[in-house]
A = this chain, B = another copy of it.
Amino acid sequence: MPRIPKERLEKYLNLQREFKEERYINLHPIQRGGVLTDAARKALTEFGDGYSTCDWCPPKAARLDAIERPPIAQFMQDLAEFLGMDVARVVTRCREAQFIAFATLGEPGDYVVVDGLAHYSTYIAAELARLKIKEVPHGGHPEFRLDLDAYAGKIEEVKRETGKLPAVVLLTHVDYLYGNLNDAMVVGKICKKYGVPFLLNAAYTAGIMPTDGKKLGADVIVSSGHKSWAASAPTGILALKEELADRVLARSKMVGDWSERKFGLKEYALLGCTVMGGPLISLMSSFPHVVERVKRWGEEVEKTIYLIEQLERIEGTQQLGIKPKQHTLTHMESDGFYKVSQTHKRRGFFLYEELKRRGIVGIQAGLTKHFKLNTYGLTKTKVERVAKAFLEIAREQGLAVK
């Protein structure tokens, strides 16, 4: 039996997080929409044990989404309704939701058409489902705007090359790199015309801004609980139009060759039950808050635009992506801070360190020329503190501030 020395084990006790919400202003681009509500944090310990949600699993219909106590079954319905969809499931990650859609809607060798700014997880979800990728191009600096009308041409291209339509068409609603918001309706209409399932990756939108699948023409919406629903990780959302539910949530057809056992209740691409316990309950507990907060999306974008205006006062600094911003995830380019980094004794790390000294974290350490940030959910006062800190650092480092 292998033995691990005590001193190596002790480091796993009393693990602390340095960047707690009450100690720092955290601008990390992917973290803002996932900060837990108090209700979610409380629920986490109540349902910390993994199977705590399963005490009342119905014996004749043993499946997570059928549990009524706590009200998981009702939550799945409310979640679908909130997204303007018909059926919803909570899965382990947004990327798993993508994989489930790819694996059930496509056959190995089929194509998925995706936007050229899709997240890496889209590519590897396709890879695991043994599908090929065709990308819709985006424009160059500084907007990096996607050519949404080009989806039609890419669908045609797949048909021409393979004699078959793509299995799925995917659009990243807001991309991870520039935070550009895409008009999903354009792609929804194209997909409807061709009769191809339209998957909207709403990892950065559903849960923080209004996202109505019906209006957008989405057949599948995927999202991330820990990115945009004030839920613990790992939680993904998979929401479907009724028409696709039978395919994506297909039941197991496996039969034991000797035992003759069958598992016909289980949704096989989900591998049966998915996210039990704390993470699921945290998502449910934050849901009332999430339903309210999406209505205040306009205020969130205003705070971002204010911060960008302040940052752009700094010599050689501009926002990348489409202007004016329609989302809180922001990519800044700064020749000014880059110039400083060339001679500063801390090189590119000065910006991170100067911000941290002022109680601000989340900008990637070492970056100056390009850095991303997100103000979602920060109070106006905190956003003002962030603006002030950046301007102060710029002046201290001898940059001109308009």
- Which of A41-49, A310-318, A329-337, A385-393 has 4 or more CB atoms under 8 Å from chain B? A41-49
Q: How far is the CB of A284 from chain B (nearest CB, A)?
A: 5
- Which of A92-100, A182-190, A193-201 has 4 or more CB atoms under 8 Å from chain B? A92-100
Question: Are A78 and B272 neighbours in the complex by a CB distance under 8 Å?
Answer: no
Protomer copies: 2
CB-CB nearest in chain B for A287: B12
Question: Are B120 and A266 neighbours in the complex by a CB distance under 8 Å?
Answer: yes
Asked if A291 is at the interface of the complex by the 8 Å CB criterion, the answer is yes
- Which of A133-141, A164-172, A299-307 has 4 or more CB atoms under 8 Å from chain B? A133-141
A41 and B48 in contact, given A108-B108, A258-B135 (Cβ under 8 angstroms): yes
**Residues of B close to A40: CB separation below 8 A:** 48
Asked if A217 is at the interface of the complex by the 8 Å CB criterion, the answer is no
CB interface residues, A 278-302, toward B, < 8 Å: 278-279, 281-282, 284-285, 287-288, 291, 294-295
- Identify A92's interface contact among B74, B93, B123, CB under 8 A: B93
CB interface residues, A 38-96, toward B, < 8 Å: 39-52, 54-55, 59, 70-71, 74-75, 78, 81-84, 92-93, 95-96
**Bound complex: CA A144 to CA B45 (Å):** 39
**Residues of B close to A17: CB separation below 8 A:** 46-47, 52, 55, 70
Q: How far is the CB of A154 from chain B (nearest CB, A)?
A: 9
Interface size on A, residues (CB 8 A): 112
Asked if A401 is at the interface of the complex by the 8 Å CB criterion, the answer is no
**Bound complex: CA A243 to CA B147 (Å):** 45
CB-CB nearest in chain B for A92: B92
Asked if A381 is at the interface of the complex by the 8 Å CB criterion, the answer is no
**Residues of B close to A70: CB separation below 8 A:** 15, 17
CB interface residues, A 128-179, toward B, < 8 Å: 128, 133-137
Question: Are B263 and A124 neighbours in the complex by a CB distance under 8 Å?
Answer: yes
CB-CB nearest in chain B for A16: B46
**Residues of B close to A234: CB separation below 8 A:** 50, 92, 234, 274-277, 279
26 contacts between A and B (CB under 8 A): A1-B210, A10-B288, A11-B74, A15-B46, A15-B47, A15-B70, A16-B46, A17-B47, A19-B55, A34-B50, A41-B45, A48-B282, A49-B226, A50-B227, A50-B235, A51-B233, A59-B365, A92-B93, A92-B234, A108-B108, A123-B256, A126-B254, A134-B258, A226-B277, A233-B275, A279-B279
